[in-house]
Structure 1
Amino acid sequence: MAVTVTLLAAALGCLAVLSPRVGAVVERTADLVILVPPVLGLMLLALAWPGGRRLAVTTAAVVLGTPYAVRVVAAAAAPLAGAGFVEASVASGERLWRVAFHEILPNLRATILALFGLRFVEAVYVISMAGFLQLGPQPPEADWALMIRENAPGILLNPWATIAPAIAIAAVAIATSLATEALAPRRGGEVAAR
């Protein structure tokens, strides 16, 4: 889910800054989708999709998470779109997708990695929320959010049955965030020399 959102955002964000028409469509669509509260959007898609609980939750997370990510990539790519090496590629007749993927994206490694970390944490949050609200996987499937929900009434008798899955969810989110930060280039704001 986080990989799909990051890839879509990278492609759409770079193309949006290179083409004014694509940028206008992407911006208007993002504005409309951002208006939908994530919990409401998740509930609407999950409840309207008969029998597709996991697929519905994944689709909702991708649809609702991509507009924010596109905005981040477009904001980071906008200064690069006016750089000399990008203008030279466009003037030489390169296709927009080639300019986006060969000229702009390599210079956004730090932004893309940070975005992936954020989207992964959001994916963990959305999946956990869906499991807790019983919109995602159902018992007897193994799911940390379901464990929290099922063990919540007995929290006074055995608090670890609820605390352990919550710690596991937090540990996965924090570990991924720290890993993406460690992998990011130290000087992410500089444009590579051509």
Structure 2
Amino acid sequence: MSTPATAAPRRVPSYVVRRVAPGLLLVLVALTGPFLARHAIDKPVTAPYAPAGDGAPLGGDQLGRDVLSRLLHGGTALIGSALLVAVVVTGLATLIGCVAVLRPALGRAVERTADVAILLPPVLGIMLIALAWPDGGRLAVNTAAIVLGVPYAVRLVAGAAAPLAQSGYIEAATARGERLWYLTLRELLPNLRATVLALFGLRFVEAVYVISMAGFLQIGPQPPASDWALMVRENAPGILLNPWAVVAPGLAIALLAISVNLASSSLAPRPVRKTVTTS
């Protein structure tokens, strides 16, 4: 009596592991950094702009605080804020973009609104929201990043969903009398997984840059807060004395953005290649 064959477990492609692992490792280090830091973020342990030594592997900052300890503390808030912005922007843009292509009248209004909003430069938008909300702090920066990110993301989702909205299965579901929420959640969204994943990666990277730019302009987190962009701004005058005080947080921001972008692009479903056979 033969035993039934069991399906072999699907193996994760090696290129996915190579691209996802660095991002996960960096995010894990950033989230656990406060527990790994040797010194408090506001405790001077060296002379101002002291070079790297035994007590401070990356030297001291402008007040003699340990650069490594502040670096380990500075990633948690940035990653949390960027993740929040990316999730909200991707979710709103996906729903609005799908509804816009299914309801042409609403789609034209959304398109005109997005065209106007895209014209607003990010720096100007952040400064306007920060001035209108002076006590908002990091919440004001996150709100600005969401407001500035949704219009472009809506155009991207609507562009990918427009051909699908004209397909036969959408027309069949509409003829059956399905509601708008059913068409959006059950018909369009499953076919937009690659677009949504790629959009999430782009929005996360954009959020990292926008929030870092706001921190560099001292909009949002204020001293003595530990923030990577704020560290670059504060220690720029002493870059020749201790380059690590500026280079380390700058590299952390760049590596975070690049690794997450690579991870999201590798997780997106790849198009199936069709082989053409000749007789």
TM-score range, shorter chain: over 0.9
Q: Deviations over 1:119-152 (max 9, x none)?
A: 1110000000000000110111111001101110
Q: 2: distance between equivalents of 1:126 and 1:71?
A: 19
Q: 2:266 aligns with which of 179, 182, 185?
A: 182
* Corresponding residue of 2:76: none
Contact 1:110/1:188 (<8 A) preserved: no
Contact 1:111/1:188 (<8 A) preserved: no
Going from structure 1 to structure 2, the CA distance change for 1:62 and 1:111 (only over 3 Å counts) comes to same
Contact 1:108/1:188 (<8 A) preserved: no
Does 1:4 pair with 2:70? no
Q: 2: distance between equivalents of 1:138 and 1:4?
A: 25
Q: Deviations over 1:158-178 (max 9, x none)?
A: 111100000000111111101
Q: Deviations over 1:5-52 (max 9, x none)?
A: 000110001000000121022112111211211110110001110210
Contact 1:3/1:116 (<8 A) preserved: yes
Q: 1:137 aligns with which of 216, 221, 233?
A: 221
Contact 1:47/1:135 (<8 A) preserved: no
Q: 1:14 aligns with which of 94, 98, 102?
A: 98
Q: 1:150 aligns with which of 224, 234, 252?
A: 234
Within 5 Å, give how 1:17-96 maps onto structure 2: 17-96=101-180
Going from structure 1 to structure 2, the CA distance change for 1:188 and 1:73 (only over 3 Å counts) comes to farther
Q: Which one has the largest radius of gyration?
A: 2
Structure in which a larger fraction of residues adopt helix: 1
**Hey, which bits of structure 1, 4+ residues long, moved more than 6 A?**
none
Structure 2: stretches of 5+ with no match in the other structure: 1-84, 274-279
Q: 1: distance between equivalents of 2:138 and 2:146?
A: 12
Does 1:113 pair with 2:113? no
* Corresponding residue of 1:165: 249
Using the aligned pairs only, state the percent identity.
70
- Give, as a single letter, the amino acid of the residue that structure 2 aligns with 1:88: A
Q: 2: distance between equivalents of 1:96 and 1:31?
A: 25
1:80 Cα offset (Å): 0.2
* Corresponding residue of 1:192: none
Contact 1:42/1:57 (<8 A) preserved: yes
- Give, as a single letter, the amino acid of the residue that structure 2 aligns with 1:55: L
Q: 2: distance between equivalents of 1:181 and 1:62?
A: 22
SS in 1 for 2:218: coil
How much is the aligned-residue C-alpha RMSD, in angstroms? 1.5
Structure 1: stretches of 5+ with no match in the other structure: 190-194
